[in-house]
A and B are shown apart, each in its own frame.
Chain A
Amino acid sequence: MCFTTWEMNFYQKEILRIRDNHLPKQYLVDRVVKAKQTIDKHFCSEIDLDFISREAFLSKFHLIRLFKICYGKTPYQLITEKRIHEAETLLTKGASVSETCYQLGFESMTSFSIYFKKHRGLSPNKFRKKAISDNSVSCLIFKFGAT
């Protein structure tokens, strides 16, 4: 922002205050963003903290600490969130549990089912059936104009 402090409104001043006092320096933020982009690109395959930290030029300890400050969660939590979200999207679109499992890079159906149930509260098979049934109801409502 190109204002002098006395010209700024309250919110503009707050942006600068929070950025300067509570967020990491820009060159560190850039490295954390690089880590996030690495996760965005590779979350469907097996990635670990060693790989992400190498890509971001940060030690594992600093990566976890800075990532949590910037995104409010650890890299592992973000990977889990993205994989579950992707699994939900694929299952809702009608992909089978096995297709979803292998597309997300899980080694076996068992490990995928345990992982999904742990984070989503129901098995992938039950989730898929429910999503498909909800979709059919939505289509009927749309078709017959019910509200």
Chain B
Amino acid sequence: MIKIKLTSLTVKDQEKALEFYTKTLGFVKKNDIPMGAHKWLTVVSKEEQNGVELVLEPLAFEPAKVYQQALFEAGIPATAFLVDDIDKELERLKSLDVVFSVQPTQMGPTKLAVFNDTCGNNIQIFQML
């Protein structure tokens, strides 16, 4: 059997990312294993702690920096997270000074918004109506 257990996101600074993804977004740290200059760092959803782990990968490969920058400037999200109530989540994140590039917008049966994770990525949140 083959399963999806990890997905990754490149971040400019792992410490800063850990702070943002746990304290601001509300994920929980799952693994924090030192590996020289960087570490194996993963977070999970508080409600699904045995679910898919998000790897906060160090951005140590030059071409990856170019790719991340290009995605960011085009406003394209690096990944997306599901929320129960997007309007409520937007208000909560705005109160924590998170900056949104796309305000809640309905696309078919999905409502989405995009914010800056302060680590080099646009992140989309979405609610299925």
Contact = CB atoms under 8 A, between A and B. Distances in A.
Contacts, number: 47
B109 A11 contact: no
Nearest to A2: B103
B129 interface: yes
B106 interface: yes
Interface of B: 73-77, 101-103, 105-109, 112, 114, 122, 129
Interface residues of A, number: 19
30 contacts: A1-B102, A1-B105, A9-B75, A10-B75, A11-B75, A11-B77, A11-B102, A11-B114, A11-B122, A12-B102, A15-B102, A15-B105, A15-B107, A15-B112, A18-B107, A19-B105, A19-B107, A19-B108, A23-B107, A23-B108, A26-B106, A29-B106, A29-B108, A32-B109, A33-B109, A36-B109, A36-B129, A69-B108, A70-B109, A71-B109
B129 A33 contact: yes
Interface string A90-115: 00000000000000000000000000
A36 B109 CA distance: 9
A114 B91 CA distance: 47
B117 to A, nearest CB: 15
B99 to A, nearest CB: 13
Q: Classify the interface of chain B: helix, strand, loop or mixed.
A: strand
B35 to A, nearest CB: 17
